[in-house]
Amino acid sequence: MNEYSKGLLWVISGPMFAGKTSELIRLYDRTIFANQKSIIVKPSLDNRYSDSEVATHDNRTRKSFIVNNIEELNEIVAKELPENVFIDEAQFFSSKILNVIDDLRKLGINVYCSLLNQTSEGHAFPFMDKKQDVSSLLVKADHIETFSAVCPVCGKNATKTYKIESSGNEVDVGGSNKYEPRCYEHWEPKK
Ligand SMILES: [Zn+2]
């Protein structure tokens, strides 16, 4: 375990409500405990629960940098000089995140990302500029943790995100009012 070189890319992948952000925080806490310099970054688009902290669905929080644009991360890194960068909700940035992560890794910085791997329609989640999707990030990873939630219908592992009410927009930020996790059997894409 942890026998990776510097410049590690570690991805936490899965549907909504699977504990991805909790896992990101757990890994962040480990680096802090190991006296490493680490920062958490999240997109400003996701302003659920808190404006200045990264929050899980059960309200565990840590200070985070909220950026509008992933390229702002370069300025933060130049100032903070972290050994580890934790990116929450990576799917909500533009595809420029791929280059930004490549550059961080070349500097020897470890990058940990949590991401929603697929839309409620079951497609690879597109980055905000729609030029690429998260599969381009997943293939670059040294390590992928795939998390599942619990299907409220049958109690089995939920690997899908189900849209409760269709807003007509496949990529739609929201919490438990709009989405719930479902197993494959109880998930169906909304048209
Ligand atoms: Zn089910």
Sign of the CA dihedral 59, 180, 178, 24?
positive
Is the separation of the CB atoms in 46 and 173 below 8 Å?
yes
Flag whether 115 is in a domain. Answer: yes
Flag whether 189 is in a domain. Answer: no
What pLDDT, on the 0 to 100 scale, is given for residue 86? 98
Rounded CA-CA distance 157/109 in Å is 34
Flag whether 154 is in a domain. Answer: no
Phi-psi group of 113: left, alpha or beta (phi > 0 → left; psi -120 to 50 → alpha; rest → beta)? beta
Task: Report the predicted TM-score, pTM, of the whole model to 2 decimal places.
Answer: 0.88
What pLDDT, on the 0 to 100 scale, is given for residue 181? 95
| Dist. CA 139 → ligand 1 center (Å) | 28
Q: Which residue has the tokens 């894409």?
A: 189
What pLDDT, on the 0 to 100 scale, is given for residue 129? 95
CATH number of the domain enclosing 123? 3.40.50.300
What pLDDT, on the 0 to 100 scale, is given for residue 3? 84
Flag whether 161 is in a domain. Answer: no
Nearest 5°: phi and psi at 121?
A: -90, 0
Q: How far is CA 67 from the centre of its chain?
A: 14
What pLDDT, on the 0 to 100 scale, is given for residue 61? 76
Neighbours of ion ligand 1 (CB under 5 A): 151, 153-154, 183, 186
Nearest 5°: phi and psi at 39?
A: -130, 155
What pLDDT, on the 0 to 100 scale, is given for residue 97? 98
Domain that holds residue 92: 9-147
Flag whether 158 is in a domain. Answer: no
| Dist. CA 188 → ligand 1 center (Å) | 11
pLDDT under 50: residue ranges of the chain: none
Of 89, 121, 170, 185, the active-site residue reads 89
Half-sphere exposure at residue 89, Cβ-oriented, CA atoms within 13 angstroms = 26
The residue type at 68: N
What pLDDT, on the 0 to 100 scale, is given for residue 167? 58
Rounded CA-CA distance 163/153 in Å is 14
Flag whether 94 is in a domain. Answer: yes
Flag whether 121 is in a domain. Answer: yes
Q: How many domains does the chain have?
A: 1
* Residue 89 appears among annotated catalytic residues: yes
Flag whether 4 is in a domain. Answer: no
